Structures are given as C-alpha cells and as structure tokens.
Structure 1
Amino acid sequence: MREPAWRKTGKTPDYRFSLANERTFLAWIRTSLALLAGGVAIDQLTPDIAPPPVRVTLCVILALIGAGLAALSYRRWGRMEAAMRQDRELPFSAVMLVMTIVVALAAITFGVLILVAR
C-alpha cells in the first residue's frame, strides 16, 4: 500500500498526539460497527417491530450510515494527522453534529415503532 502524500511533508508530531488521534479514529470505527450491529440486531431480533419493508429499510439505512461513518473517520484521521504535521489548526468536522442528529432520529423512530408495535 502506498504511503499518503501528507506523510512526506512537515515534521512528525509528538507521538502522544498521533496516538490520541488514532484512538479517536478507533472510537469512530467502534461507533460505525455499533450502527451496523444495531441494524442487524433489529432485523434479526425484532421481526415484529415494523412491517418488513419498513424494518429492512431502517436496517439498511443504519448499515449505510455505519459504512459512511467508517469512511469519514479515516478521512478525518488523515486530515488531523496532516494538520499536526504542518503545525496548522485542526480542521473543523461536522461529523459529530451529523451523528448526534442521526442517533437522535434513530432513537425517536425506534421508540415510536416500539410503542406502536405494542
């Protein structure tokens, strides 16, 4: 695998900051896996929560959001690493706001489905 171009510029940051950035990346990966696992669990463990087309659609949406978050987290990790190497301000990321909204909407949606299913 080819090394990213940003690794050849600037100076190597303090390893503690690189490791902190990597831990943050891994936390985002865990979150994306949780979204994927949630989609699978809803489909397999709660077949009566909603009509099959609605349930499958919601599960696919969760899986796609999980996949998108995994891709965005790698991009975010690289941008942070490049900024640290260049002694620049860390770039803003809207991922946290978007994920907050997504999780809140998912909680409301599944809460309503649970109440309606009873």
Structure 2
Amino acid sequence: MKEKPGIATAIPRRRYRIGEFTLTVLGEIESTDGRSYRYIAAVINGQNPEPGMYITAEQGTAGQGVYDMRIILPDGADVIDQSERWSELDAFVEEVIRIVSRVLQLGDETPYQLM
C-alpha cells in the first residue's frame, strides 16, 4: 500500500468487530509522513496483521478546523469529504463504520464495539 499513513506513535481510541473485519480507531497520532492526523481508522481482515484499508481525518487545506476524510486502499487514496465534524471522535467513527460497511459490502453485519 503506497499511501499508507506513517505512524510513529498513536493511542487506540476504539475497536470494533464487523463481520470478519476488525476496525481500530487511533488518536493522538505522531506521524512520520508530514501529515497532521486527527484520527486514523485501520481495517484488518481476519488474522492478517496488515490493514487493507485506512480512513483518516487529517488537517485539511480548506482552512482552520476543517478536516479532510481520506480513504486509502491498496490501489490508491482519495479525499472523500471535508468537514469540521471529523474532529469529533463519535462523528468520525459513525461515518467510518458506514463507509467500511458499504465498501466491503457488510450491509447485514452489526458492528460490535470491543474497546
């Protein structure tokens, strides 16, 4: 994954199980790639140690307090939204679960909070 976030340190904030996938949300991130992340969600399939998808809230170019939501997949990355809402953990997690469920076609799966 060529645009994988560079993480020096981070603190896990939430963890969910959605079907066979585990979703971990990180906060207080010190990055090694020059980006200013508010949150990073990493999606892991089964026992695979490497995430197959990331969704980030990072300081945007639109202005102070506005965060870009970026989805990172093995074949590339795109900013999919910009909002002040992505600075709030609950709003970020709610949207991430919706996106992950749609992208991975997990419509029938209920997310279970593990942490």
Q: TM-score, normalised by structure 2?
A: 0.28
More helix by share: 1
Q: TM-score, normalised by structure 1?
A: 0.28
Larger RCO of the pair (alpha carbons < 8 Å, separation 6+):
1
More strand by share: 2
Larger radius of gyration: 1
